[in-house]
Amino acid sequence: MRFRLRSMIFLALLASGLAVRGQAMNDSALFTIARLKYGGGGDWYASPSALPNLLAFIGEHTDIAVAAQEARVEIMDRALFSYPFLWMTGHGNVSFTPEEAARLRHYLESGGFLHADDNYGMDESFRREMARVFPDKELVELPPDHGIFHCHFSFPNGLPKIHEHDGKPPQALGIFADERLIVLYTYETDLGNGWEDEQVHGNPPDVRRAALEMGTNIVVWALTH
């Protein structure tokens, strides 16, 4: 399975090169982000305009050939291993069955990547479920000099703050396997809200831009490391 996932990443980058040379690409060859549908009652479907906007920004500011729309996938779907990049968000409870926890771990250790963006409310349950997926690993904070903050756009101070909730500083927390970042958890920032249509939250242009640039960095890092 690791070979298949890394092949998907290669195809996304190959599609980028072909698109640059002006050749038409089939949608199946274009990179997209797969929104993770999870159980437990949380609103996995939150921020509906976030991923289309992020994909459009990535397409405009990188050489990655992107699809116009997100994909949606559940952990037990056969299609899971067709997507190298998963994204999840929400305000409520996250819950994985034992089978889902085992399969998600297999997916991530086989070359997949998960970005979880707390939309203010899923923190406790997400940390609990990650401890079940990886009982032998911990979420560790990424320092501002980590490459994910500098691989395309530069963020000298690390993760940008998009929305205020509890007055806490934003944190980028990661889980690693063989030194490869496989899970990124962005906490107290709400990047996804910054990706949404401007009228949804009324974020000023510079804040939205920072959110989109950071999202681009995350995708670029995941596809190239």
Question: Helices (H) and strands (E) in the chain — how many of each?
Answer: 7, 7
- Mean pLDDT of the residues in the chain: 90
Give the strand pairing for 171-177 and 140-141: antiparallel
Question: Is a pLDDT exceeding 90 seen at residue 49?
Answer: yes
Burial 100-128 (b: 16+ CB within 10 A, else e): bbebbbbbbebbbbbbbbbbbbbeebbbe
Average pLDDT over residues 9-20: 49
What domains, with CATH codes, occur in the chain? 2-224 (3.40.50.12140)
Average pLDDT over residues 14-43: 73
Q: Is the pTM of this model over 0.85?
A: yes
Identify the band that residue 198 occupies on the pLDDT scale cut at 50, 70 and 90.
confident
DSSP symbol at 138 = -
| Token pair of 217 as six digits | 């960095």
- Contact by Cβ (8 Å): 155, 217: yes
Q: How confident is the model over 211-223, as a mean pLDDT? A: 98
Q: Determine the pLDDT at residue 12.
A: 52
φ and ψ at 202, to 5 degrees?
Answer: 70, 25
Band of residue 2 on the pLDDT scale cut at 50, 70, 90: low
How far apart, in whole angstroms, are the C-alpha atoms of residue 109 and residue 124?
23
Closest CA to 47 of 218, 171, 200, 204: 200
106/2: higher pLDDT: 106
- Report residue 19's pLDDT band, with 50, 70 and 90 as the boundaries: very low
- What is the arithmetic mean of pLDDT over 167-195? 96
Could you tell me the pLDDT band of residue 9, with boundaries at 50, 70 and 90? low
